[in-house]
Amino acid sequence: MRRITAAVAAGLMTFAGLAAANAPAEAATTAEAEYVALGDSYASGVGAGSYDPASGDCKRSTKNYPHLWAAAHPKYALKDVTCSGATIADIRDNQLSALSSTTNLVTLTVGGNDAQFSSVVKGCVTESDSYCQTATSWMSYYARNQLVGELTSLYKDIKTRSPKALILVFGYPQTLSMSGACSPIEFSPAKRTAMNGLADALAEGTKQAATNASAYFIDMRKQFEGHGACGSSPWVHSVNLADQTESFHPNAAGHEKGYAAKFSATWG
């Protein structure tokens, strides 16, 4: 995705005293702007460590991409309501209330749990190649079809609640490198291809939904290229027996060099 231009930003956001010609990086120089982070474990930072005790089971990390970006842009007041395990329904029930008519920026990563990501991964870890291929195929079909409508409706609801906000929808990366040994559990080439195929389906479905709702989709697949689990420089955890919730989630480097870097390259 190309960097968002000032002309586009001016059509989407209104800041007190902001001239339409200002560049995106200057958007918050005249007044504090409100940034709301929504989403699931990929947004909350499961796998990055340094979890805020007050966030409980939501496991919001101080090293997640919303916090990293907000720390570099102190004029933005961050409301981080991301939560591990969140589905689209959970976003509606528990997170949309953080939005307001004065919200200027919204980021969101969601859809993986609706596509049964954890269950599919578990099956790919414990079952045969054939089982993994079938499970990812079913969920890929869902991601390219039913999920599109569900996400489109959610994005439109966000726009209704926060009509001035720029909405950045961050996708999921491919989780596995196609080369390199996995530890402590090895993955066959067939399983790696199947799991990465599900990531592609989620990206394609999410991109279509963002297009439908006039939100901005940020594709993370190229950013993470060469940094999947089991590779030589992984930004994604492989199977973590000590904390299985972190398995196939971005580590601290994935949030810093992957998500936060792409965020900054796109928006200031």
Please identify every residue annotated as catalytic: 41, 249
Distance linking the first and last C-alpha atoms of the chain: 14
185 dihedral zone (left: phi>0; alpha: psi -120 to 50; beta): beta
Measured over the CA atoms of residue 60, residue 254, residue 261 and residue 43, the dihedral's sign is negative
What lies within 8 Å, CB to CB, of 120 at 6+ separation is 132, 135, 136, 139, 195, 198
Helix 129-144 to helix 189-212 angle, to the nearest 10 degrees?
10
150, containing H or E segment:
helix 146-161
- Pairing of the two strands 166-170 and 33-39: unpaired
Residue whose entry in the numeric block shows the structure tokens 């992957």: 258
What tokens were used for 217? Answer: 């989709």
User: Mind spelling out the 3-state secondary structure of 50-106?
Assistant: CECHHHHHHCCECCCHHHHHHHHCCCEEEEECCCCCCCHHHHHHHHHHHCCCCEEEE
